[in-house]
């Protein structure tokens, strides 16, 4: 909004300083500062409203010290995060950018699903909230929208390096060197650790002519988009179990994705790092800056001991934002590394459930691998478990804040590894 206003002022009246809004770095900095300040000051008022309305989290007694004391902590604080993202983005970003519009749709869509889930839990006193099938249906709907728009919209292209003289090719000067590229509608994406670091979904279609394989590749891409959005948003939802855990890890993940978006949207950096150049994705840096600022501001109130919980309103939206952002900049295959904490948290629940069912079917008595899942609760419980029983060492319960910070450290390590994959091939 402000970008378009100052662009008009610059063209009509040549007001000094109005040209600053042409720089992505300037608008990204403004978006981050605004979102941080908004989350700090408006967030405090929203927390007060949630407390007066007695919108508290229904925390069950899990046998973990300190957990039951959190039952009166207000939830649905994800509203703070969503507003702190959307308002700065509407103010400082180019609103005619297709990628930015998709991010706004993803934010509102999954935020609405999470809000409905929290509403059912808090006001309808239904601890289960929205049914699992309804959540997955909503996530699937978003996946279809995102994948289809990326397939059908003519503005969604990548620029691939081509030899000089290729028809319809354009060049960009990097010093004295010409970089020749050509726009194409493609389903290529980035793969880690491989020398030829691009994978095309159409390669999964072993039959048909080039047109059939291209269309088939996009269908597979849409299915992959649905799976990734569902998996990452649910993984983020499971990770949101300790004060500041999801907020802190998401700040680190968001910063890494912001670096990727900036590099992918700059033809010179993309050429130097040998990654695909995706025109117009640089504008996503403004969005991710607002995302990071909103989470840092929310962390002020969410760090241990938390004054507010984000609830599903925030956790589902955060996971969806990360997934859609990675898909748009063609870095979705890096998610298992970058979002390793989400992956491990999800796997711990899956392994626990299926191991219990298998052992109950075989022996009549269900056994558990972990003391409690998701994994972060395992470290909060004290006693022996099937993993360390063989070495006869008791599992010592860890303080909540120590578990959170250690998960942050692991996420930083995974983020560094993810960035390094750009050059290790």
SS3 state at 180? strand
Please tell me the least confidently modeled range out of 76-90, 253-267, 375-389.
375-389
Q: How far apart are CA 112 and CA 343, in angstroms?
A: 24
Q: What are 339's two structure tokens?
A: 């979002």
**pLDDT tens digits along 188-197:** 888 887 766 7
Mean pLDDT value across the chain: 85
Helix (H), strand (E) at residue 178: strand 177-184
186 vs 414, higher pLDDT: 414
Is the full-model pTM beyond 0.85?
Answer: yes
Kindly report which listed range (40-54, 316-330, 350-364, 371-385) carries the lowest average pLDDT score.
371-385
For the beta carbon of residue 57, count every other beta carbon within 10 angstroms: 20
Least confident of 27-31, 111-115, 271-275, 293-297: 271-275
pLDDT given at position 1: 64
**What mean pLDDT is predicted for residues 165-172?**
68
Structure tokens at 8: 């008009």
CA angle 62-67-71, nearest 5°?
105
Q: Residue 359 above 80 pLDDT?
A: yes
What confidence tier does 31 reach under pLDDT thresholds 50, 70, 90? very high
- Mapping DSSP to helix (H, G, I), strand (E, B) and coil, where does residue 160 land? strand
Please, what's the largest Cα pairwise distance for the chain?
Answer: 81
User: Residue 7: pLDDT band by 50, 70, 90 thresholds?
Assistant: low
Pairing of strands 177-184, 170-174: antiparallel
Residue 80 scores a pLDDT above 80 = yes
- pLDDT range class, residue 248, cuts 50, 70, 90: very high
- The token duo for 5 is 């206003």
**Average pLDDT for 63-89:** 82
Q: What band does 425 get if pLDDT is binned at 50, 70 and 90?
A: low
Domain boundaries defined on the chain: 2-159+195-348+402-420, 160-185
Query: Which of 90-94, 137-141, 286-290, 412-416 bottoms out in mean pLDDT, i.e. has the lowest?
Result: 90-94
Q: Give the position of tokens 């900095």.
A: 29
**pLDDT tops 70 at residue 284:** yes
- Give pLDDT, residue 180: 67
The one-character DSSP state at 306 is P
Can you state the percent helix, strand and coil of the chain, rounding each to 5? 65, 5, 30
């Amino acid at each position: 909004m402000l970008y378009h206003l100052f662009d008009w002022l610059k063209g009509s009246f040549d007001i000094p300083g109005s040209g600053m809004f042409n720089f992505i770095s300037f608008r990204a900095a403004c978006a981050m500062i605004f979102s941080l300040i908004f989350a700090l000051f408006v967030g405090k008022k929203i927390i007060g409203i949630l407390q007066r309305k007695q919108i508290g989290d229904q925390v069950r007694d899990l046998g973990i010290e300190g957990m039951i004391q959190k039952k009166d902590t207000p939830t649905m604080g994800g509203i703070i995060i969503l507003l702190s993202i959307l308002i700065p983005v509407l103010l400082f970003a180019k609103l005619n950018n297709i990628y930015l519009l998709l991010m706004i749709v993803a934010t509102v869509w999954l935020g609405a699903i999470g809000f409905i889930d929290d509403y059912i839990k808090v006001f309808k006193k239904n601890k289960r909230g929205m049914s699992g099938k309804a959540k997955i249906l909503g996530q699937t709907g978003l996946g279809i929208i995102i994948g289809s728009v990326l397939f059908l919209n003519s503005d969604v292209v990548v620029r691939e390096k081509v030899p000089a003289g290729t028809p319809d090719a354009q060049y960009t000067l990097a010093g004295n060197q010409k970089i020749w590229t050509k726009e194409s509608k493609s389903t290529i994406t980035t793969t880690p650790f491989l020398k030829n670091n691009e994978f095309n979904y159409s390669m999964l279609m072993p039959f048909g002519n080039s047109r059939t394989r291209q269309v088939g590749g996009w269908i597979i891409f849409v299915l992959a988009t649905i799976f990734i959005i569902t998996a990452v948003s649910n993984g983020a939802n499971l990770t949101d179990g300790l004060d500041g855990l999801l907020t802190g890890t998401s700040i680190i993940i968001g910063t890494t994705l912001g670096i990727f978006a900036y590099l992918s949207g700059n033809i010179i950096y993309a050429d130097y790092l040998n990654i695909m150049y995706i025109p117009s994705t640089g504008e996503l840096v403004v969005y991710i800056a607002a995302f990071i600022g909103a989470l840092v501001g929310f962390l002020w109130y969410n760090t241990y001991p938390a004054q507010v919980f984000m609830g599903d309103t925030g956790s589902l939206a955060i996971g969806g934002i990360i997934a859609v952002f990675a898909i748009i900049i063609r870095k979705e295959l890096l998610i298992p590394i970058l979002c390793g904490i989400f992956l491990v948290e999800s796997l711990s629940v899956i392994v626990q459930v299926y191991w219990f069912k298998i052992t109950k079917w075989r022996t009549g008595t269900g056994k558990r691998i972990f003391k409690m899942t998701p994994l972060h609760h395992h470290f909060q419980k004290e006693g022996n478990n099937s993993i360390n029983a063989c070495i006869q060492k008791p599992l010592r319960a860890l303080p909540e804040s120590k578990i959170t910070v250690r998960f942050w450290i692991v996420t930083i390590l995974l983020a560094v590894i993810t960035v390094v994959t750009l050059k290790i091939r």
